[in-house]
Chains A and B, each alone.
Chain A
């Protein structure tokens, strides 16, 4: 079983969530908890690195919708990076690139926070 894991690191005050495995209706609550922890710890600058994510369904995308408004109200953002073409296609299918900052690399996401 491949499962799903979220690893949390801190990079100069930016919370980085590294996703691994598959994100579906069963595993989405794990990501929801990880994002909620960031907010509880007053970390509103968040990068989600998708490099090791192999699959996403609408349940996974929906998690981001649940947090984006609150994070932006606190002058933060959720930036998404390192998506494979397969994962990006699902975001694109639903028009999410219009709402989220999706960067090729985590370093670019970090730089774009630092420019703000």
Chain B
């Protein structure tokens, strides 16, 4: 029997003043999926970091291009795909910062990737320089309230 699945497709202007609306929207969907407050906060922060990176790096501060969000909720996991058609990058050069070194050298920036990896259960980056990036991140729905893919 096919697993019940719910999909949301959202599009936001790629400017930093929309991060608040993105967070609020994703939080509401995560709440509806049955996550508790702590997990909702984690998902909210991970999505914020991914979208803030789109504005800062892919769109280099802003512009008219959109950020596309696809949220897929099934009985086992909550997946968010953040996509942009910005500058893209070589994913082989993507490194999580060494936090000990980061703190000792008091570096600024570059923490978003670390946060996303720490807070989410599965993370995958796909990017083509000049074409854009997809960040796919998932959180497993454990035995909180069972996922409600309400129909």
Nearest B-chain residue to A98, judged by Cβ:
B103
Question: How close is A57's CB to chain B, nearest CB, in angstroms?
Answer: 5
With a cutoff of 8 Å between Cβ atoms, the chain B residues found around residue A93 in the complex are 115, 118-119
**Is residue A33 contacting chain B, with contact meaning CB distance below 8 A?**
no
With a cutoff of 8 Å between Cβ atoms, the chain A residues found around residue B108 in the complex are 62, 65-66
With a cutoff of 8 Å between Cβ atoms, the chain B residues found around residue A90 in the complex are 45, 115
Instruction: From the candidates A25, A61, A66, A69, name the one contacting B19 in the complex (CB within 8 A).
Output: A25
B106 touches A24 (CB 8 A): no
Q: Residues of B at under 8 Å CB distance from A?
A: 16-17, 19-20, 23, 41, 44-45, 48-49, 52, 55-56, 99-100, 103, 106-109, 111-112, 114-115, 118-119
The B contact surface, by secondary structure, is helix
Known: A24-B52, A58-B49. 10 other contacts (CB 8 A): A1-B20, A24-B20, A25-B48, A26-B19, A57-B48, A57-B115, A90-B115, A94-B103, A96-B103, A98-B103
**Chain A 46-83 interface 0/1 with B at a Cβ cutoff of 8 Å (1 = within):** 00000000010111011001101100000000000000
With a cutoff of 8 Å between Cβ atoms, the chain B residues found around residue A94 in the complex are 99, 103, 111, 114-115
Question: How close is A8's CB to chain B, nearest CB, in angstroms?
Answer: 22
Known interface pairs A24-B16, A86-B41, A90-B45; A55-B23 also in contact (CB < 8 Å): yes
A25 touches B16 (CB 8 A): yes
Nearest B-chain residue to A96, judged by Cβ:
B103
Question: How close is B128's CB to chain A, nearest CB, in angstroms?
Answer: 24
Instruction: From the candidates A2, A59, A96, A98, name the one contacting B20 in the complex (CB within 8 A).
Output: A2
